Amino acid sequence: MKVRKSRRITNDQPQLEMTPMIDVVFQLLIFFIVTIKQEDILSMLSAARPAPDPDAKPEDTPPNVLNIEINKTGFILRGVPVSKALLERRLSNISEYDKKVSVVIRCTGDSPHKFLVQTLDICHKLKLSNLAIFSM
């Protein structure tokens, strides 16, 4: 007797093995979380450089120009060494009645860059926009 073998057709859906994929995906996720680096929020402090004029003398400066000198130790306003807080207070007083005052920041070669940035920051805080940097 011929026995006919019946082929069994299963109705089962093909199963995708999820476990290794989830393992890999979690490894990736942990890698990215561990290696992500937050970045500082940066600001920019703008200023202009005056065109070099060898004939210009300090006496020629118009009265609405405020000179701030920066040297190795700190700030000098109208010939008097001042602290950062005092510089801010004096500039605040000046800016109250004259927002259009031109601020000329004169930096000596050995002055650290932080003093220039601090001065520009104070000027931006007080909305003083006519800023010029003069290197000595």
List of residues contacting another protein (CB under 8 A) = 18, 21-22, 25-26, 28-29, 32-33, 35-49, 51, 70, 107-114, 116-118, 120-122, 124-125, 133, 135
In angstroms, give the least distance from the CB of 4 to another protein. Answer: 35
Give the nearest distance from C-beta 122 to another protein in angstroms. 8
Instruction: Identify whether the C-beta of residue 75 lies closer than 8 Å to the C-beta of residue 68.
Output: yes
Residue number with CB closer to another protein (82 or 133): 133
Buried-state track 12-44, b at ≥16 Cβ within 10 A, e below 16: eeeeeeeeeeeeeeeeeeeeeeeeeeeeeeeee
Query: Residue 4 or residue 53: which is nearer to another protein going by CB?
Result: 53
Residue whose CB is less far from another protein, 9 or 41: 41
- β-pair type (65-70, 102-107): parallel
| Closer to another protein by Cβ: residue 10 or 35 | 35
Question: Which of 76, 74, 86 lies closest to 115, judged by CA?
Answer: 74
Please, what is the minimum distance in Å from the beta carbon of residue 24 to another protein? 10
Minimum separation from the CB atom of position 123 to another protein (A): 9
CA end-to-end distance (rounded Å), the chain: 114
Q: What's the closest the beta carbon of residue 46 comes to another protein, in angstroms?
A: 4
Burial category of 127 from C-beta neighbours within 10 Å (exposed 0-12, middle 13-18, buried 19 and up): exposed
Q: Which is nearer to another protein, 6 or 19 (CB)?
A: 19
